[in-house]
Structure 1
């Protein structure tokens, strides 16, 4: 045979061996072997008993999969992982777990009921953590990384051990209190056994008590109040949030306390009122709107030093003649407010009107469209003292109007002011 033809034939014979050089050989038990083989664009696995199965390759934007051999379910036997890059940073996996009772490898399919609870839609970016006997899956969507952690039961089936839950709901009541990320830990039955708020760097989130005295509750409802309380300035670790209740862990002298606190009580704008100068040098002025002939809601803000507000909200506080208190969130300002030192700005200057059975005030919506919002909440008829309050995440404390207006409810509004355009 000519030398050239001999070399060409040798190269052709060697080509399959070279293409298979990086394909894994697995030894799940002493004396047993399995190996991966490429068959054109497909891959197959020879089981320890000599039979073959075709491997499912993850759908992704690459053509060549990567194979890993590791004990993914922590049962002491090597398993097979197949990964492919998906996008710029994500890596998706398919797993084949070794089942010692059958002495075979089996594709691990996640139940739909489990997939629906995951931050990632399947196995991604896998990392084994033997100290937890947990398999972590992580993926990135937008600016944030998500993760799920799995443990395996006695039959080698995965269950959700931990996950990162993102709270998408934004509370309009407390714009300065928003915890978007919670790590939840579950038992094998799916019950939450631990929870904590974290930031994007996986650090625990804390919360500082904003009011002089705040009672602790065994459960998130009024009937479970205890005699114990926290005081202003106490720092707590945030564990969970359920509506207007916050579960916290406080390091007391007798040990860690895990209790619930009422956010309605913590941020009760009536209790937080102070006539002292505002710590940020801000002043809120409100004109008297009790005149039936001129029921004009006029609100102005001034500051003796630079002030920037990004999520300001206007609230009204009503106090009845018998001392009953009502809080009413009037509206969000919807635009940043920036004041230089010794500068003032008009926040509102609109008539209180009677429309469709409600007393309303004009306030453009988030899109700048004409809109009216309820000025008075549903109150028992009577005489009320009314004070305006401005809140924002950038304020050291809410800003209370120095003025308090005395009005009757329902208010007397001159007929000529009805339905003013």
Structure 2
């Protein structure tokens, strides 16, 4: 089930709450929920502003201001136009909005400006700029209903078309969104589409969330990962030095039994469909993609 973004927060309250924001830390056994960000809006003909921490200088603040026809960011002595607000305000509750959300996981809030609205208000597209110590703010892309996955370090961009919800999974690397895979929800099953691959994984949509730790206690639960490189080598330990000769090939799917704390290694067991031989060990997470949960 997809959840609605957080309700709008008055700009004055948001300014107070965010003036000293710091990166959120998760405990080992209680990953935080998906983060929808904080929305700030200004009715037509008025303005709103909010101050957030910025990486340019220690203690520096960026002030984001919504005017009738633009969204501006002030960083030090610089004024940066994040967006010329061309969206007719009557299309979305007679107001302009920004969404404050750290989409590249650097501990600083980035700024999305409401760019367009589709499907009767279901799909909200936000034009995002990253808080950048050199450029002030740097354009990153447009994302629909963006959500952070604090466990995997992903940004999810989801949209509805007819009865189908689709989600594109990104990581922001060096200021650029890198697309990892897409997931479409078709009632009782989901389709996973990995770029550059002919294989399309079809999985049960009724499986529990892989990060729901109560659900994963159920022996019937399983989460799987699919190899996305020609050879994904097994390792005895989660490090490059312990690499073995055994490997998965592009498209092989194994069961994930464990994940390192920083999510860069997966412990996977794989049974060959023809020989019946089972192999298990650590695989680099960058060579795999989750296809269930």
TM-score normalized with structure 1 length: 0.35
TM-score normalized with structure 2 length: 0.48
Q: Which protein is bigger by CA-based radius of gyration?
A: 1
